Amino acid sequence: MKANNTTGIRYLHIDYKDKYGNKYIVRHHISGKSFVVWRGNDFDLGKEIAEEVAWKVAEGNAVFLDWYDNERLEYLASIGTNDGSIKTKWNRILGKQFGPYKIIGIEEEGPELRETKVKVVCTKCGTKKVALYKTIFAYKNRNIKYCHSCKPADKVYKKGE
């Protein structure tokens, strides 16, 4: 009997969590811990990575862990993909609009997404600045049309605007 989350290829699974917006996941479990090697939507690329993981695991869990810690990122870069396991969490916020600000890049990754420093641009005046993601995310439910630099000087703002 075949399980629902398999693709027929060992270590390549269908990711039903949809937390990162990816369809496939390559991972290996050792002693109840899951080591995610890659997440993505390309089946052929996932198959290639899963075969590499299968070779490393066939050599032993110690060899796999050494590869996972030291050579995994270089291997993923050599086949033309990013880390996919952790960095997608930060990459999925690129291009999102919060109030007058649009996120155009990541300046410095923090331990959590909310502590990440992001590069933003005001869509009204084009002013670029660096701010914490939690500060920019605060504009999500507020109806603010102007950033601090392009606010009209002649308009008097009332409470709530």
pLDDT digits (tens, 9 = 90+) for 21-80: 678 888 899 999 989 888 888 888 889 999 999 999 999 999 999 999 888 878 887 787
Can you tell me whether residue 49 is helix, strand or coil? Answer: helix
- Our count of domains for the chain comes to 2
Q: Long-range contacts of range 137-145, CB-CB < 8 Å, 24 or more positions apart?
A: 137/98, 139/98, 139/99, 139/100, 139/101, 140/98, 140/99, 142/99, 144/99, 144/100, 145/99, 145/100
Note the pLDDT of residue 85.
Answer: 45
Tell if the pTM clears 0.75, that is, is over it.
no
Q: Are residues 24 and 72 in the same domain?
A: yes
| Phi, psi dihedrals of residue 114, rounded to the nearest 5° | -70, -20
Distance of CA 37 to the CA centre of its chain: 14
Tokens in use for 27? 């991972």
Question: How confident is the model over 113-149, as pLDDT tens digits?
Answer: 778 888 888 888 888 889 888 888 877 777 777 777 7
Same domain, residue pair 81 and 103: no
Write down the H helix ranges in the chain. Answer: 43-59, 61-70, 72-78, 87-91, 133-137
150 in a structural domain:
no
The C-alpha atoms of residue 161 and residue 12 are separated, in whole angstroms, by 51
17 and 61 share one domain: yes
φ/ψ of residue 152, rounded to 5: -65, 135
Range of the domain at 98: 93-137
